[in-house]
Structure 1
């Protein structure tokens, strides 16, 4: 690894899931592969790869997760690779360990989609389906307009007019909550939380069991995301399930830049079925979970590329136009992974700070 930050950042990023996996395993040759039921665009095998560093019985564990929202894995993988290449495991104390979970949603990463192979948003999938799923009346009202049957012409214009009318009547925050908080009735729609636990959720549950994380005294989790906030800025978000106690623990570890959806200081609205909720149910106040969310482009660009991606599966037919599919995929990738040197350097610089603070946070 070079000490030159710009060069290190470029070296850490990859052009696709397969290169990212190869780089990760180069720095973590003993990583364990958890095979996915999904296949890559060329029929390739896919997997989540997991590396443990430190004493297997360590009471304090630092966990990083990449590719919760598949296409966002370019960023998360690079942050993990840079930490490994920079000697991160060697800075752990005797009673500390690290668990690096690479590409928890390998299908989404390989296909440049946010969703799992089931079309599910993994960060809305951690609900107790047996107990009943959250309601989202706002999304129910807007479902046909958020992913309309056509992307141009009168049908599309009518859909956009309906969305604009909802925004006027209810306000922007209500619209964002309706669209993003999670919905469980419209499998072709955006932010669909699923009808059951997804493949990647089950994989995470297996990993947690295999490494006995529920038995640990303290766990700090950093989950890498992209798509919200100012270009290149890494916002440290806490979510609502663990409440203000988690927020205050995170503030102690990471400083005053930590935000909270519960307090309304985050670029994210309050969400249902999050990974944060999973870790809290597992460990309670023994865990501190943060989402490290890097800004890319404006929210309307994100709404457009996600609408295109979901429209292609819902209305593009069994054999969608290859040129159109390629364009939509490229635009999805470009929104969640700005392939520019300045963005990459900003991402890695912030990741180094946050990962260092997370390990220091294990020490109380």
Structure 2
């Protein structure tokens, strides 16, 4: 049994976006590819790929998404490859289908960054840009400190003291909300939601149209993420756009491990412009959305690696050895390359995919 899952790890996980895409394309039977305007580190073409399994007219559809946050795609891609390798398509009923969306943010996946080529956090990019953009006064107070001009020396230390002061005066929830909820004013800052829809957002909208998802009776979305929560644990997070009704639908399908920011049970703060805003507008009560969030290392390490990544983006002429170290630290935070972590990811992914399949069958 142990040797079998270690082999599955080797077959499912990849070292680069390009190897992950190759595995996906080799296993998927019917793929529609969406080219990105961005290019890879060596000038390579980048794609989001969508593969459909089951009845083209199926009314009950499962959707597995990888790489909403780019570098987090190693985990989600492995789950998709493992699903295909396991022959799960053969268990789909006559009125069911599965849609696998590989590398929704191919730029971030290829470059080992969380952001899109526009520099925005895709999971903060689904606000209605025709309306006034959300404000984040806490981020305004901390903007110059969350991504300081220098990442060492007295100026850096002063920024850390300013952050510590904010946390003490306002509390940890207020700090995490200020930092993570989403901001729409600082394009070089962390958790920037953009000044308009990103190309990856348009890609998701095109995929939805091309596969007629709006016409389905039920769509269940599992969006794989990493970096938040206990090491290796896969938390099923619902989001605020679906509200408590969406939480109850997810609870009925996936059980009591489901969490909600509305109830304060999620390890994530409530965020603005998340992908679930798209699904809520498209399908309302006909959808269930969960972010399958796999924990890695402590939150302060996450704050450090994101700060360095955004600093490096603002300083492309930084010392090459320092730049390399920054990229490696960010990659390791969001994709720990250890067998124990990867084994936990495959086990939990299989469980969640099975629960999704059982829920689709009971509805079909």
TM tier, smaller: over 0.9
1:293 paired to 2:304: no
Which residue of structure 1 aligns with residue 124 of structure 2? 124
Matched residue SS, 1:130: coil
Structure-2 separation of matches of 1:79 and 1:54? 18
1:65 paired to 2:69: no
Structure-2 separation of matches of 1:213 and 1:187? 32
Which residue of structure 1 aligns with residue 75 of structure 2? 75
Q: Cα offset for 1:3? A: 9.0
Structure-2 separation of matches of 1:285 and 1:204? 19
Matches within 5 A, 1:195-214: 195-214=195-214
Runs of 4+ in 1 over 6 A off after TM superposition: none
Matches within 5 A, 1:188-199: 188-199=188-199
Check whether the contact 1:69–1:123 (CA below 8 A) recurs between aligned residues.
Answer: yes
Structure-1 separation of matches of 2:3 and 2:290? 27
RMSD: 1.1
Which residue of structure 1 aligns with residue 329 of structure 2? 331
Which residue of structure 2 aligns with residue 13 of structure 1? 13
Q: Deviations over 1:276-299 (max 9, x none)?
A: 111011000000000000000000
Matches within 5 A, 1:230-269: 230-269=230-269
Which residues of structure 2 form unaligned runs of 5+? none
Structure-1 separation of matches of 2:236 and 2:219? 17
Q: Deviations over 1:143-176 (max 9, x none)?
A: 0000000001110010000000000000000000
Aligned residues: 361
Matched residue SS, 1:128: coil
Q: Cα offset for 1:54? A: 1.2
Check whether the contact 1:240–1:262 (CA below 8 A) recurs between aligned residues.
Answer: yes
Structure-1 separation of matches of 2:275 and 2:42? 30
Q: Cα offset for 1:29? A: 4.2
Of residues 355, 358, 363, the one that matches 2:356 is 358
Matched residue SS, 1:326: helix
Structure-2 separation of matches of 1:350 and 1:120? 29
Structure-2 separation of matches of 1:322 and 1:202? 34
Which residues of structure 1 form unaligned runs of 5+? none
Matches within 5 A, 1:108-123: 108-123=108-123
Matched residue SS, 1:271: coil
Q: Deviations over 1:113-138 (max 9, x none)?
A: 00000000000000001112111000
Matches within 5 A, 1:98-177: 98-177=98-177
Q: Cα offset for 1:21? A: 0.2
Q: Cα offset for 1:7? A: 1.9
